[in-house]
Structure 1
């Protein structure tokens, strides 16, 4: 009889090594940090050697850990595809689509009725991906992900959709006559909205200090309100709470409807350091429903923000 390692401990090890953090692994797996640590100790007991050690940059694998990690991610991805292979054989009625809450709420849901009207036999079920750390979703047929540019190259299971622009927007009543500022430095007098924990974030395009420097504003940006997600920050901007740095796709409809306005002329906008991709399990590579939905999403994105910028 085979003596197999504890599966939940293998998953914890894979997650902790990918994120280089027990905390982020706990967030991805939906368990406590102590639970992840307990699983790692149990796996080390099974193997009989330490697997991870801490460095100034986070967790790293020992020589034994590297040997274990070799092929483990591919194995777990293969197990995650089991459901996809079964669904492909069963020809299910619904297509499960994984997507972030901001993109779903501020862009996709307004467009889905047109898709279902054109494809009445295909049922769509949205699965909201809460947070970037939820990287492995075994229970979806299609994923729309927001990835760093260097991770967005086209593969047999992944296709680039679009690269957005980032710029400040707000409710019309915060600006003189509801129009973009003639003097960009006047931004310093407006209330600002912030996304994510202070001192942490994505690229320079999300940094108010970077924007103030670009605009030649010598004062520090006001603290303002801070939100855990961009979608919530945009919702606050829609209520007139302040100016938010937003992605072009998420605010396209609100700008077109006049619910939001650009604070600065388009010449000031910055490219996002991340791009959207659509991807699906290899087992569904020939699934017509997946191909149909992916093509539709790409067309809708192009119609919204124009031709996607190419990623090398």
Structure 2
């Protein structure tokens, strides 16, 4: 169905009105300076990485109250954008340019992880991976080949076809299942960092096997809050913490150089 010229003009006008109202709302919130800074992010990032680090931020900035708002999809994040002071997105690299309203945080590595009860030491024979229960993260829009077990089987030279044991819509649930000994999951380096450090997870293929994530993390905020000192303090701390984590989890010199394709 094609809209009439009048209908198209009306739609454009309404869009401009809604955009103006959103901007007015943000400027009003900025002027009122609410006591808390509302930060929106995924449940996985909050649960597996950020929450245990927030007490340190509170010790450094006792006058800044943080409220976390969880979203599971990009659509949910956009829908709640007017209520949030800062959103942490997982986006394609072409969206991740630094500007006055957003900053690139980090790009992760993807690799298999499991509980020590599944594989205490790295597998000497990669074919043994075919005997372990595999956990899947369901495909989503824009998901790269690094999330497919078939990619990893090709990378390892395995002729067998991956057999899924459990499939999860959200990466945090897959990691939780791996922590409980449910099988081998493909994890993101930032999300599994603490569990690897604590010995709750291990890397069954060893530290030399990893693929770069096809998406990156980005912090985004409304233009009206660009000079907000609370937001500046939190984003600076967030960038420093992610850099610290990434530095601790640097890959060894031996990197996987195989070309990854779809299929």
Q: TM-score range by the shorter chain?
A: 0.7 to 0.9
Distance 1:249 1:75 in 2: 40
1:259 aligned residue: 200
2:132 aligns with one of 181, 190, 193: 190
TM-score by length of 2: 0.86
2:115 aligns with one of 156, 164, 171: 171
CA-based RMSD: 2.7
> Is 2:51 the partner of 1:116?
no
Unaligned runs of 5+ in 1: 1-40, 49-63
C-alpha change, 1:114 and 1:153, in structure 2 (3 Å) is same
2:88 aligns with one of 118, 139, 144: 144
2:189 aligns with one of 248, 265, 271: 248
Deviation at 1:226, TM superposition (A): 0.5
TM-superposition CA deviations, 1:276-310 (whole Å, max 9, x none): 0111100001100010000000000001012999x
1:162 aligned residue: 106
1:59 aligned residue: none
C-alpha change, 1:308 and 1:161, in structure 2 (3 Å) is farther
> Is 2:231 the partner of 1:287?
no
Distance 1:213 1:134 in 2: 35
> Is 2:56 the partner of 1:85?
no
What secondary structure, in the 3-state scheme, does the structure 2 residue paired with 1:302 have?
Answer: helix
1:2-41 equivalence runs, <5 A: none
Equivalent residues of 2:193, 2:249 under 8 A apart: no
Distance 1:200 1:80 in 2: 27
Unaligned runs of 5+ in 2: 251-263
Distance 2:129 2:249 in 1: 30
**Radius of gyration: which is bigger?**
1
TM-score by length of 1: 0.73
> Is 2:38 the partner of 1:96?
yes
What secondary structure, in the 3-state scheme, does the structure 1 residue paired with 2:110 have?
Answer: strand
2:48 aligned residue: 106
